[in-house]
Amino acid sequence: MHSDIAKVLVSKEEIDQICKTLGVQLTKDYEHKKPLLVGLLKGCIPFISDLARQIDLKFDIAYMSVSSYHGGIASSGDVKIKMDLDISIKDRDVLIVEDIVDTANTIVTIVELFKHRGAKSVKMVTLLDKPEGRLRPFQPEYVGKVIPKEFVVGYGLDYNEYYRNLPYVGVLKPEIYNNQ
């Protein structure tokens, strides 16, 4: 698996540090609130697990599964809810936890939906941000690291469902997806 990676973009050590820094900031910003963390499956799993343990507050946690890639390396722009939340977000301070923001099609759709459902506030924390990929204007409130417009895998991020278990974030060798 490691031999399919052209280069490591964010090491495990850097990810640990990012989670600590974001955890301290979120603990401070949500001090007198009881936020609802919403993880977007499946990519958020390693990040939400590490980040949650760095937030020194009581919070609720829920998951939602949305899809805009359908297996390839470019967003289809068509956001589908595959599994909805099992908890009401009305009057809640919602913090969406994502692995990466690229075109922002997914997050803009979800933020609009959550506001329509009556959330008190909707903010987002993302491990990675690819601002050059934007098709819609959107700035996440909390960003772990800004990266160039490259297709990355690992630490929850997949290519055709593989590589999510890599402990770091890396750039996949182009021949891996060109040969398909």
| Pick from 20, 10, 92: nearest CA to 53 | 20
CA distances from 33 to 30, 59, 125 (A): 5, 8, 16
SS3 content of the chain, % helix, strand, coil (to 5): 25, 30, 40
Q: What are phi and psi of 51, to 5 degrees?
A: -65, -45
Site residue total, ligand IMP (CB under 6 A): 19
Least spacing, CB of residue 56 vs ligand IMP, in Å: 27
Query: Which residues are designated catalytic?
Result: 102
Q: What one-character DSSP code corresponds to residue 69?
A: -
In the complex with ligand IMP, which residue's Cβ is closer, 6 or 24?
6
The binder of ligand IMP chosen from 38, 95, 96, 101 (CB under 6 A): 101
Footprint (CB under 6 A) of ligand IMP, residues 145-174: 151-153, 157
The binder of ligand IMP chosen from 5, 100, 111, 143 (CB under 6 A): 100
Footprint (CB under 6 A) of ligand IMP, residues 39-98: 40, 43, 68-69, 75, 98
124 binds ligand IMP (CB under 6 A): no
CA distances from 180 to 4, 72, 76 (A): 14, 10, 18
Residues that bind ligand IMP (CB under 6 A): 40, 43, 68-69, 75, 98-107, 151-153, 157
